[in-house]
Amino acid sequence: MPKFLLMVNHNNGVFDDVPMDEWKPEEVTAHMNYYDVLGRELAESGEQIQFMALADPRLARIVRSDGTTTPVVTDGPFPESKEVLAGFQVVDVESEARAIEIAARVSAVPGPGGVAIQQPVEVRQVMTEEGGDV
Amino acid sequence: MTDADRPDTGNTEDTGNTEDLLRALAPQVLGILVRRIGDFGACEDALQEALLAAAVHWAADGLPDNPRGWLLRAATRRYADLARSEQARRRREEQVAREPAPGAVPARDDSLVLLFLCCHPALTPASQVALTLRAVGGLSTAEIARAYFVPEATMAQRISRAKQRLQASGASFAMPARDGEEWPSRLRSVLHVLYLVFNEGYTATGGARLHRTELSAEAIRLTRELRRTLPGEGEVSALLALMLLTDARRPARTGPDGELIPLAEQDRTRWDRRLIAAGTALLNRTMGDGKPGEYRLQAAIAALHDRALRAEDTDWPQIVCLYDLLEQLTGNPVVILNRAVALAMAEGPAAGLDLLAALDGDERLASHHRLYAVRAHLLDMTGDADAALAGYREAAARTTSLPERRYLLARAARLRRQ
């Protein structure tokens, strides 16, 4: 079955200007529970390989090495935070259509007032090691 | 009988207990195998397969008359199969063949030797934990992998690497001498592994929480066993006491949606009084054992919290003293953070903030999220809402724990609404 990488950035869709600590506690709870339910559902269906949230970009480091001298480690990246990866999941599904269906569920996670935040989710197919006849 | 003394594997009447029985027998049988054959890695593989076979056969046919003998025979046979398939192991196969027929099983229990071997200093803590859970705890690789959220193949590789490393280090299947120079540090690493396993289970709040609670139960079970074999070691009893006293608060520690509830706001009627009584009794028995070790100090702090029926009844001055001793003993800067909180509760937030100010130059904590979290909490107590809010947000950005981030953001949100 094809595998897909689903990525979300630090971009809360239609609520991008409302930091989460301005949400009501029950809105945060509903948001978290939505992910929990989805995660459990995909784990049970056997489609989920990984579901990971990443720590804040402030903790990110960039490493460069020429293979001989000491690697250069710098803080960052610090571009516009909405363009930084916030979390990802890897799913193993029947088809691209199913991957898109899952991505749509992620995108519709509820925000303030229970409104779907419509967070953009990037769907990328993972390359395989299998080679056919050439 | 107190909770701490209760044996874990007495009753074997129904199949529901087969799993418990297998896990109690696993280290005993492995010990006998390793003594006979010497190849820890291969013996462990053979035993894992014998355990699987036992789970299937015993469920279908009922318990054999001598479960330990059955397992030993199955594992020996499996080992012989493995050995036969490799020319290089022919010599060992012959060695097995020369052994007396299984059945005349020696009465000794090598579980303790195994535990010390799995926590050998040649291994990293992560490997020590994995190997201990499998070889001593009798958990399958799949179960351990699920508990630590890593793919099964990753965990299998970690365990197999650990076994190779043990082999290469020349670690022998023997207990370090109790009066030897090595003993304190070897015991310390065993206790540390058990503590890590407990905490991994205790601090879990998220998705797969069920699997992880089992880790705490497993750590308690193994520590109980260790205490049974080393009754004179105060730190072993103290670690068990710490686990019971901590585990007692589990029912009140998270809300219905998995959110963290701080100690001060927990519904203390939900604390498990039976565990508190057992832990306190254990701790009291270690008193007078000479200079307290780190687990006794931690258990004493836990006991003081557990004893307070209301948060405001907490004996903070005494907790400050205990953290002071703990800091001197361990030199761990995180302990200072805890002391700052205790000091703030005992003498007011300004005293706590003064202590934190002294930590500003400490590189070990400079970017540690708990420094920001504690400072925010103390600023919150002083009524400086703006500074507290900024602190909570900074701490939330720096933590790598989702439940903690959620808690810190909720604190910030609460201030914002005021």
Rounded to an integer, what distance in angstroms lies between the CA atom of residue B48 and that of residue B34?
Answer: 14
Is A134 within a domain? no
Residue B104 lies in a domain: no
**Residue in A closest to B416 by C-alpha:** A22
User: Apex CA B328: angle with CA B323 and CA B334, to 5°?
Assistant: 55
Q: In this complex, do A21 and B409 lie within 8 Å of one another by their Cβ atoms?
A: yes
**Residue B122 near residue B163, CB atoms below 8 Å:** no
Closest C-alpha to B115, from B212, B208, B42, B218: B218
Query: Among all residues of chain B, which has the CA nearest to that of A59?
Result: B398
- Say whether pLDDT at B284 is over 60: yes
Per-residue pLDDT reduced to its tens digit, B68-118: 999 999 999 988 888 777 655 556 555 655 554 444 555 566 888 899 999
For residue B348, the model assigns a pLDDT of 96
| pLDDT tens, position by position, B222-248 | 999 999 989 889 999 999 999 999 999
pTM recorded for the entire structure: 0.80
Closest C-alpha among A88, A114, A113 to residue A103: A88
> Which ranges of B230-347 would DSSP assign to H, the alpha helix?
234-247, 250-253, 273-286, 294-307, 316-330, 333-347
Q: Among B257, B402, B415, which would you mutate to test the A interface (most chain A Cβ atoms within 10 Å of its Cβ)?
A: B257
Interface size between A and B, measured as CB pairs under 8 A: 40
Which among B343, B361, B363, B342 is positioned nearest to B351, based on CA atoms?
A: B343
Residues B130 and B225 in one domain: yes
Residues B18 and B85 in one domain: yes
From the list A22, A33, A56, which residue is nearest B398 (CB)?
Answer: A56
pLDDT on residue B14: 46
Residues B39 and B93 in one domain: yes
Q: Tell me whether residue B79 is exposed, middle or buried, using C-beta atoms within 10 angstroms of its C-beta: 0 to 12, 13 to 18, 19 or more.
A: buried
CA pair distance B44, B79, nearest whole angstrom:
9
At A43 the pLDDT is 83
Q: How many domains does chain A have?
A: 1
- Interface residue of A21, A34, A38 to substitute, partner B, most B CBs within 10 Å: A21
Q: Which CATH number covers residue A29?
A: 3.30.70.1060
Distance CA B407, CA B260 (A): 6
Measured CB to CB, residues of chain A less than 8 Å from chain B are: 20-25, 28-29, 32-33, 36, 39-40, 43, 53, 55-56, 58-59
CA distance B81 to B103: 20
Q: Is residue A131 part of a domain?
A: no
| Residues of chain A contacting B412 with CB distance shorter than 8 Å | 21
Please indicate, yes or no, whether residues B257 and B287 belong to a single structural domain of this protein: yes
Range of the domain at B207: 110-171+182-230
Q: Is the pLDDT of residue B272 over 90?
A: yes
Peptide bond into A77 cis (omega under 30): yes
Nearest to B236 by CA among B190, B291, B290, B168: B190
Task: Count the domains in chain B.
Answer: 4
Nearest to B406 among A32, A43, A59 (CB): A32
> Model confidence over A85-120: pLDDT tens digits?
899 999 999 999 999 999 999 999 999 999 999 999
Quick one: which of B132, B109, B12 has its CA closest to B65? B12
Residues A75 and B205: their CA atoms lie apart, in Å, by: 30
Residue of B nearest to A40 (CA): B207
DSSP B65: S
Asked if residue A48 is part of any domain, the answer here is yes
Same domain, yes or no, for B24 and B135? no
Beta carbons of B410 and A28 less than 8 Å apart: yes
Locate A61 and state its tokens: 């480091």
* Domain annotation covers residue B366: yes
What's chain B's length in residues? 418
Chain A CB contacts of B409 under 8 Å are 20-21, 28
Note the pLDDT of residue B5: 43
B402 in A contact zone (CB under 8 Å): yes
Residue type, B399: T
DSSP at A110: B
Return d(Cα B4, Cα B160) in angstroms, integer: 34
A28-40: buried (b, 16+ CB within 10 Å) or exposed (e) per residue?
Answer: bbbbbebbeebbe
**pLDDT at site A58:** 83
pLDDT at B208 over 80: no
Host domain of residue A79 = 3-125
- Our CA angle for A43, A54, A124, nearest 5°, is 65
A83 versus B318: the higher-pLDDT residue is B318
Contact between A50 and A58 (Cβ < 8 Å): no
Q: Is the residue at A27 inside a domain?
A: yes
CA B197 distance to own-chain centroid: 3
Q: Is residue A115 part of a domain?
A: yes
B273 touches chain A (CB under 8 A): no
Please tell me whether residues B224 and B267 are part of one structural domain: no
ipTM: 0.73
Confidence class for position A51, pLDDT limits 50, 70, 90 = confident
Q: Which of B47, B76, B98 is the last residue of a domain?
A: B98
